[in-house]
Homo-oligomer: A and B are copies of this chain.
Amino acid sequence: MVLRFGMVGGGNRAFIGDVHRHGASFDDLAVLSAGCFTRDAEQNRLAGEKWRVDPDRVYSSHREMAEKEARRGDGIHFVCIATPNDSHFDIAKSFMERGIHIMCDKPLAFNLEQAVELARLARKNSILFGLTFSYAGYAAIRQLREMVGGGLIGDILHVAAEYPQDWVISSLVQKRPDQALWRFDPERIGPSLCTGDIGTHLHQLIAQSTGLRIRRVLARFDTYPRHLPLETNTTVLLDFGNGASGTLWASQIAIGFESEPRIRIFGTQGSLEWCHARMGKVKYTPINSPTREMSINREYMSEASNRLCRLPAGHPEGFYEAFGNIYHSFCRHLLARMEEGKAEGYAFPTVDDGVDSMRFVKACVESNAGGNVWISLE
């Protein structure tokens, strides 16, 4: 059985829409069958044509799409939401109320209240609700989780996560027109820039790779260029309880780095490291032993990780394929529900992870506003 999916968004020039579309269908588990790709009617029509969507199923509004698809016998099983985050709430609600499953771009919503409500609706309507925290999709991250879970590094003592990029400073210094300038507007994106945009990626990366939950945060925000309304550099002390600590650093003014999340996990018996610049590798050091550099899709990696690989070891699978893995796992779970597949060992970020990440951002904002004090997340 092949799933049918629709898209809201993805018809303009933002690169992420294209990544969603490829990701959802990468492994032939789902086929694009409906869409409301952009508000521009002509562009919307052309997008549908290009992607071989039945013209009757190219809609001018997400509401129309939700209603009509829900009524069809061959309607979509899930919708992919690839619009700016201030619109996620309304769109997701429309589809969930009609029993259509959701894969949503991150962050989940505009604020924590919306996020909590979305989670409630998902539970109420038995909706499978995924979020494309992209880095969670890499096979290597899955390997980290298996190794932590298997006790290979003992108890976790410290986690150091960072995501430096130069996006904001490079763009603003060049003063180039940029399609993403809405990201600087608190009315559009909420009370946080850097923390919400990329800090949440780290928050999720920690959750996916370690299984740890953050109990308290102490955050400091910096803003450069000074005239921006929101922070562009964030440092957060993390408290996981039970003596495990961590730090999270996200920066959009870090010249010399493009998009380079890195996580290092230190335990009582060993350590693990992954970075985006070497996305197919895991560094593992057992105590008093040499560091191992492990490659995805080798015989010594876990089955759960190798299942997310398509190519022989050494052939790089990148960002598109990581998205493909998130969709793949989501589709496996959806198919399992429909009694046509098994989903053991497949994982993807859910609406609950989305709520957690919104709660994390809110706590960081409060901590910073309060003069860098500890804020509980519980």
Contacts and interface: CB of A to CB of B under 8 A. Distances in A.
A366 interface: no
Contact of A372 (B289, B312, B374): B374
Interface stretch (A84-92, A165-173, A342-350): A165-173
B243 A266 contact: no
Given A28-B51, A311-B19, A256 B273 contact: yes
Contact of A174 (B165, B299, B321): B299
Contacts of A291: 256, 292-293
Given A255-B270, A271-B256, A311-B15, A290 B293 contact: yes
A41 interface: no
A300 B170 CA distance: 12
Contacts of A70: none
> How many chain copies?
4
- Chain B CB within 10 Å — which of A173, A287, A290, A311 has the most? A290
Contacts of A264: 254, 256
Interface string A238-251: 00000101010101
Contact of A15 (B292, B295, B310, B371): B310
A170 B249 contact: no
Interface in A1-54: 2, 15, 18-19, 22, 26, 28, 31, 50-52
A314 interface: yes
Interface stretch (A58-66, A95-103, A111-119, A278-286): A278-286
Contacts of A218: 218, 220, 372
- Chain B CB within 10 Å — which of A249, A288, A313, A371 has the most? A288
29 contacts: A158-B253, A167-B312, A169-B268, A173-B268, A173-B288, A174-B288, A174-B299, A224-B243, A237-B372, A247-B249, A251-B266, A255-B267, A255-B270, A255-B271, A255-B285, A256-B266, A256-B273, A258-B312, A259-B314, A276-B316, A277-B278, A290-B293, A292-B293, A293-B293, A311-B320, A316-B319, A317-B319, A318-B318, A320-B321
A42 B332 CA distance: 24
Interface string A195-213: 0000000000000000000
Contact of A314 (B22, B174, B276): B276
Interface residues of A, number: 87
A352 interface: no
Contacts of A312: 15, 167, 258-259
B300 A290 contact: yes
A245 B220 contact: yes
Given A218-B372, A224-B268, A256-B266, 4 more contacts: A165-B314, A173-B268, A276-B314, A277-B278
Contacts of A310: 15, 18
Nearest to A165: B314
Contacts of A304: none
Given A31-B52, A256-B285, A271-B256, A157 B233 contact: yes
